[in-house]
A and B are shown apart, each in its own frame.
Chain A
């Protein structure tokens, strides 16, 4: 509230502080905003140009919608008023620009537009600068209204920048602007020198460059319109955006060569800009060839030297230390990639693939896929790469099909565990490899064998990371646990899948917890003949004396590793729990009294006898736990049916624990013919 009071003060100091306050503490208090707007309005119409300037600055700084509503109509009038001071005019121009940016609909086009264009001819270069910005933005939306600005801009530009004298372009430029004798170069050059030596430009000369900002703005304005004729490229550093309106081929080529020189410049900034500009030029058909000639320079700038720039960072170990420059270089490589050098560029990118972090690799992969669609000759090579990389899903035709939008990371079956760094590539710049901290080096993959033969998929997570070749006793224990645990092995496959009921499915999960890729990853299944014959989903009718074994061979860090893991494919996995009443149970129990059908084992309890654990184990074993069947409540009784392709085998089991003696008796009976 105080600030608003200060605004209405007549003393400059207070007013100034008031405005500063308002600019910083903008709130949406409607009451205050009304008052503020009132004060600003008063100042806008004030005789004192300083006050008007303050008001305009405030509007430009805040630029809220309410202000736009209040003042959008006023400001154009101030702008084109004949008696306005220069400083007011330039502030008004930019103020209007700000309002237009935030609320374009509130700024009406009127007859002031033609007057604004005339501002380009103003003596005061500050006004011209401001007007140029305003017109550029307005012309983007309403090119017709501001068409007249083109000639004015050109003439202004030629008056400001020193001409190259001998170029035909200048002539065309001059002719267009209806300047002095178009064919006569000498008077023109003289005019130039005279103009630049004149006082109004002296002030605007920045390190021997006359009015650089103004020139750039005028060029930007000209960019909005089809080029009237090629204009002399501006000098050195400011050349970047100026190059784009050029359409004459040999100019572009020369520009390209100039940029090529910059590529190896000492100063990093110039290298960065050269790469960026070349990237833009690469898209133009005229200069594309010229850009390609510089590929060697770009590559050598990126090439590996003997030492590594680590830090989970981008692409290549190289001499270029600056990551921003590296990013631009890779952008450029991607942009200049076409049929002739696709192979080369692909190999370059891929040579460092194994050194990249996970998100980078994902980006590279998606880039390869793009290459496949764009450059068929590389397709074969890329497909080989994708196929040979055992960590990837087989190069399925569907994955490589062109689909808009491009396949995301997940299409290649590489998922990152929660917590890994998020990679956000820009859609049109996938070759830009961003540097992200390589958190979470865990690559969790789902290997899905496509070949019809092996339907054996198991979700058995094993830690394959060390150089253990033979499983030790610990693993045996784990193995046993896995056999008993329901969750470790999949429940019976859903009915929709093949071989319901009699078939069992196992998913094998290979996790790589290291940061290095496993090469030549080959899993082999070693099992007895019986099992082999029955691998295709059906069950062995005979008991499996020896468990199957999965042998995983791979190359890790240069040495071969061979890890053997027992697969818990045991008979009990094919159990289907069956419920039955007490009578049935004991009836069958007595029935099946054939010694061949019965087996009994008395063993000493190794662990304390816990009811719950025992129950869980029995359920895990696969049989149903029948409660209250046995007259002795301490006993556990279970029943299950083994389904085979041909027959069904009923099994009954009974576990009698003897707490005093710490022994248990396990009896099992099966209807086995």
Chain B
């Protein structure tokens, strides 16, 4: 995976994770363009589109768009499942997650993402393990 973006219906960026080195300017440009492109899609359209030389896989959960950019040889369907798995993780952790949770606890969202994906690859697919790791970290915080 090259990057993952989370943004609202209004185009506000809630989370961005870049797995390739890019300058700030480039990141902003990509974000802007991609947000526009994805928001312009109708609801019935398929979750995949080609943009520049990347494949974009996106899915809308309530008011948030989860958008991943993958390379040519990556599997689109499994990326959809990655998105879904991430949402499940967030849901389990926050309990019926909504956009506000991500806004106010964005650092937790990043940590969960880091446990799940690393360097653009799937690291740990067991929900239990990921959440266990986060909980351990949370415990340490209490100390």
Contacts and interface: CB of A to CB of B under 8 A. Distances in A.
Interface of A: 11-13, 16-17, 20, 50, 53, 56-57, 60-61, 63-64, 87, 90-91, 94-95, 97-98, 101-102, 125-126, 129-130, 133, 203-204, 206, 211-214, 216-217, 237-238, 240-241, 268-269, 271-273, 276, 321-325, 327, 426
Contacts of A98: 19, 118-120
A598 B127 CA distance: 105
Nearest to B107: A20
Query: Which DSSP category, helix, strand, loop or mixed, fits chain B's interface?
Result: mixed
B75 A238 contact: yes
8 contacts: A63-B21, A129-B124, A241-B73, A269-B46, A269-B48, A269-B80, A321-B45, A322-B44
B128 interface: yes
A101 B49 CA distance: 25
Given A268-B46, A321-B44, A206 B125 contact: yes
Q: How large is the interface on B (under 10, 10 to 19, 20 to 34, 35 or more residues)?
A: 35 or more
A212 B48 contact: no
B78 A238 contact: yes
B62 interface: no
Contacts of A240: 75-77
Interface stretch (B5-13, B28-36, B92-100, B134-142): B134-142
Contacts of A17: 107
B122 A129 contact: yes
B129 to A, nearest CB: 6
B46 A322 contact: yes
Contacts of A325: 46
Contacts of B44: 268, 321-322
Nearest to B124: A126
A129 B82 CA distance: 14
A95 B123 CA distance: 10
Given A213-B78, A238-B77, A327-B50, A61 B45 contact: no
Contacts of B45: 268, 321-324
A126 B129 contact: yes
Nearest to B53: A426
B46 A271 contact: yes
Nearest to B73: A241
Contact of A204 (B114, B119, B126): B126
A95 B119 contact: yes
Nearest to B78: A216
Contacts of A61: 114
Contact of A130 (B19, B77, B85, B123): B123
Interface of B: 19, 21, 42, 44-50, 53, 73, 75-78, 80-82, 85, 107, 110-111, 114, 118-129, 133, 136-137, 140-141, 143
Given A57-B118, A269-B80, A126 B126 contact: yes
A204 B128 CA distance: 9
A2 to B, nearest CB: 16
The interface residues of chain A, by DSSP majority, are classed as helix
A13 to B, nearest CB: 5
A203 B128 contact: yes
A655 B119 CA distance: 85
A241 B74 CA distance: 8
Tell me which of B19, B110, B124, B140 has the highest count of chain A C-beta atoms within 10 A of its own C-beta.
Answer: B124
Nearest to A268: B46
Nearest to A12: B140
A273 B78 CA distance: 12
B97 to A, nearest CB: 19
B47 A269 contact: yes
A323 B126 CA distance: 36
Contact of B118 (A11, A91, A271, A322): A91
A16 B141 CA distance: 9
Contacts of A91: 118, 123
B79 to A, nearest CB: 10
B49 A12 contact: no
Contacts of A130: 118, 121, 123-124
Contacts of B141: 12-13, 16
B125 A64 contact: no
A328 B49 CA distance: 10
Contacts of A57: 114, 118
Contacts of B49: 324
B125 A129 contact: yes
A212 B121 contact: no
Contacts of A133: 121-122
A163 B59 CA distance: 32
Given A60-B118, A324-B46, A90 B137 contact: no
Nearest to B139: A12
A63 B119 contact: yes
B46 A213 contact: no
A94 B1 CA distance: 13
Contacts of A426: 53
B81 to A, nearest CB: 7
Contacts of B81: 206, 212-213
A213 B122 contact: yes
A102 B21 contact: yes
Contacts of B85: 206
Contacts of B78: 212-213, 216, 238
Contacts of A94: 118-119, 121, 123
A11 B143 CA distance: 8
Contact of A214 (B107, B125, B140): B125
B118 A95 contact: yes
B135 to A, nearest CB: 11
A322 to B, nearest CB: 5
A141 to B, nearest CB: 15
